[in-house]
Amino acid sequence: MKLPSLLRATSALLLALVLGSCATVAAPPRPKLVVLFVVDGLPQRQVTGLRDQLAPDGFARFLDRGTWFSQAHYGHAFTVTAAGHATLLTGAYPHRTGIIGNDWLDLASGRPMYCTGDPTATYIGHNTGPMDGTSPRNLKVEGLGDVLRKLDARSKVIAVSGKDRGAILPAGQTGTAYMYMSSSGQFASTTFYMPRHPGWVDAFNGARPADRYFKTEWKPLLPEAAYARSLADNQPWFGPAGGKLPMTMGAASAAPNQSFYAGLLRSPFADALTLDFARAAIAGEALGQDDAPDILSISLSGHDYVNHQWSAESRLSHDHLLQLDRLLQSFFADLDRTVGRDNYVAVLSADHGFMPAPEVSKAQGRDAGRIPSAQMLAAVNTALQARFGHPKLVVTTSASALVLDRKAMTERALDPGSVADAARQALLALPQFAAAYTRAELESGNRAGQPFFDQMRRSWHRDVSGDVQYVLKPYWMFGSSSSIATHGSPYEYDTHVPILVWGPRWARAEAVDARVETADIAPTLARWLGVPPPSASEGRPLPIAAP
């Protein structure tokens, strides 16, 4: 062979090798199903702290065979359930979504507003109260499911949760939400989505699956010694009801009733029911079975109820996470069988973390405690009365902000900015408060770089938020008759949550230490689905390397 011919042949061979190599690293096809798991109230410290006790294929599927992020955080300050759920599939924080809290005060009418409240829609087959959640009308932006369905109406977006807000907000404007009814142990949607349930929902509810947990014991999974790293049961600060395993569901009831169904939320069994309903949705809606990709959001609410009742440091929370781990392992096995392990991608995160109970922090030598909100309001109003002569210029609190009495300020010709500044100073004079900023400061941004200002600005929306946004000092909480511990701060124990990703065709096994944010989930999934990110998204794709 002559030299030019040899060079041409060699070049052709090299080109073929290069093209072949490119083909092997080409982007994988779109997942047929995206599954988002939201474990309500799960701090990252619990996932890594209990890693040695996890089952082989629950959380460990993500940690051992997927991509997970050791420094994943929320970027807003008021870290509560609705705000977190609104962020995950919109990629936007409350300053854009308008979901500033679980509820807030409507500034125009003075009436309370629930995050997913809508008086024009009602639960199907169930009574609807004035502060129940029935639609996404208060969500001001589109979600990933809305983008997907806008491009292909065949795609289905289904969201299920133990809480209405945990289903409605991830479902977005055009998905379908189903939520656990604590009055009946059933799952229901609302008339915003449909006039009546499809047959598969009626069949699920007709079997009364919640009733099989009546008189069932929640027993610890592991021997007593395995829980030595957690607080023992029946701590004095648990309150008169205490808290101890084993625990019998419906112990005080003669038959399944509303008290029993509501009590399941503070156990692993409501999460088991949620996953069973998700299985029914996969079968009933044929999710992941064609070339139009679908989204299934599953919000598991039990951990939040357990942590509020007994704290994340308790043995009950420890065991609840292990129970949930085994439930996930079983669910993954069913997904692999029905959808195919190469056809779906799973992401697990949380809507917020959890603070340690103040009693735990005090025992560790920290400055910690509880302040009654009435005490705070009285102190601020006393300071404002001394300066402006009116006895109650702060009418209430709303989504971590003071709300000023606009009518009184107008009648007395008081400058709202001056009153807000004085209220801010009065708050910061209290030893329990770390930061406070006025409406004018949050609108202008002129306090950028000050403590927590950027996070607080992301939590504040000019149309619905109050007049002076505030943050307590770390390890402090407002007093509550129903919560031993809580969340809602910009501190790491509340912002640091899991972001765990599994999908053999989309994410390799890797731990990533770079700081990322929950707002990054939506644009990441959008990229894999081949659609634009939601229009209000402020996140960026997660640094996930292909397999």
Average pLDDT over residues 104-112: 94
Q: Are residues 375 and 235 in the same domain?
A: no
Q: Are residues 180 and 240 in the same domain?
A: yes
Query: To 10 degrees, the CA torsion angle through 305, 308, 314, 316?
Result: -20
Average pLDDT over residues 510-527: 98
Q: What is the 3-state secondary structure (H, E, C) of 402-437?
A: EEECHHHHHHCCCCHHHHHHHHHHHHHCCCCEEEEE
pLDDT at residue 172 in the model:
98
For 366: left if phi > 0, alpha if psi spans -120 to 50, otherwise beta; the answer is beta
Q: Are residues 47 and 154 in the same domain?
A: yes
- pLDDT of 16 above 60: no
Average pLDDT over residues 424-440: 98
Predicted structure pTM score: 0.94
Q: Are residues 314 and 389 in the same domain?
A: no
> 467: closest CA among 535, 402, 377, 542?
402
Out of 456, 478, 500, a domain closes at 478
Joined tokens for residue 31: 């997942």
Q: Are residues 331 and 381 in the same domain?
A: no
- pLDDT of 430 above 80: yes
Joined tokens for residue 279: 């299985």
| 18-34 pLDDT tens trace | 333 333 345 679 999 99
Q: Are residues 113 and 257 in the same domain?
A: yes
Angle between helices 302-310 and 269-284 (to 10 degrees): 170
C-alpha distances (whole Å) from 110 to each of 105, 407, 531 are 6, 11, 40
Alpha helices in 299-436 (DSSP H): 302-310, 315-335, 358-363, 373-388, 406-411, 416-428
**DSSP assignment letter at 107:** T
Residues 6+ apart with CB under 8 A from 282: 288, 296, 335, 338, 339
Largest CA distance in the chain: 103
pLDDT at residue 112 in the model:
96
| 174-202 pLDDT tens trace | 999 999 999 999 999 999 999 999 999 99
Q: Are residues 163 and 277 in the same domain?
A: yes
Residues 6+ apart with CB under 8 A from 432: 369, 371, 376, 472, 473, 476
pLDDT at residue 32 in the model:
98
- pLDDT of 7 above 60: no
| 447-485 pLDDT tens trace | 888 999 999 999 999 999 999 999 999 999 998 767 999
- Identify the CATH number of the domain in which residue 453 sits: 3.30.1360.150
Residues 6+ apart with CB under 8 A from 302: 40, 162, 265, 266, 267, 268, 269, 270, 271, 320, 324
Neighbouring C-alpha atoms within 13 Å toward the C-beta of 374: 2
Q: Is residue 5 part of a domain?
A: no
Q: Is residue 161 part of a domain?
A: yes
Q: Are residues 349 and 376 in the same domain?
A: no
Q: Is residue 59 part of a domain?
A: yes
The residue type of 200 is: W
For residues 199 and 276, give the distance between their C-alpha atoms in angstroms, rounded to a whole number: 16
* Positive or negative torsion for Cα 162, 166, 170, 172: positive
Q: Are residues 439 and 497 in the same domain?
A: no
Joined tokens for residue 417: 């900015």
For residues 525 and 158, give the distance between their C-alpha atoms in angstroms, rounded to a whole number: 16
- pLDDT of 363 above 50: yes
- The answer to whether 227 and 319 have CB atoms below 8 angstroms apart is yes
* Positive or negative torsion for Cα 184, 186, 192, 196: negative
The domain total for the chain is 2
| 266-305 pLDDT tens trace | 999 999 999 999 999 999 999 999 999 999 999 999 999 9
User: At 6, is the pLDDT very low, low, confident or very high (cuts 50, 70, 90)?
Assistant: very low
Q: What is the percentage of the chain residues whose pLDDT exceeds 90?
A: 92
Q: Are residues 443 and 382 in the same domain?
A: yes
- Identify the CATH number of the domain in which residue 309 sits: 3.40.720.10
- CA 284 from chain centre, in angstroms, equals 26
Q: Is residue 107 part of a domain?
A: yes
Q: Are residues 302 and 164 in the same domain?
A: yes
> 434: closest CA among 442, 423, 424, 444?
424
User: At 4, is the pLDDT very low, low, confident or very high (cuts 50, 70, 90)?
Assistant: very low
Q: Are residues 378 and 292 in the same domain?
A: no
- pLDDT of 118 above 70: yes
- pLDDT of 11 above 90: no
**DSSP assignment letter at 339:** I
- Residue span of the structural domain in which 461 resides: 369-478
For residues 294 and 274, give the distance between their C-alpha atoms in angstroms, rounded to a whole number: 18
| 69-94 pLDDT tens trace | 999 999 999 999 999 999 999 999 99
Residues 6+ apart with CB under 8 A from 278: 160, 296, 298, 331
Q: Is residue 25 part of a domain?
A: no
Would you call the peptide bond into 246 cis, given omega within 30 degrees of 0 as the criterion? Answer: yes
Out of 478, 505, 540, a domain closes at 478
| 295-334 pLDDT tens trace | 999 999 999 999 999 999 999 999 999 999 999 999 999 9
Q: Is residue 431 part of a domain?
A: yes
Q: Is residue 18 part of a domain?
A: no
Average pLDDT, the chain: 94
Joined tokens for residue 232: 């023992």
Buried b (16+ CB within 10 A) or exposed e, 379-403: ebbebbeeebebeebbbbbbbbbbb
- pLDDT of 122 above 50: yes
pLDDT at residue 27 in the model:
66
Average pLDDT over residues 408-422: 97
Average pLDDT over residues 35-54: 98
Q: Is residue 535 part of a domain?
A: no
Joined tokens for residue 11: 């070049």
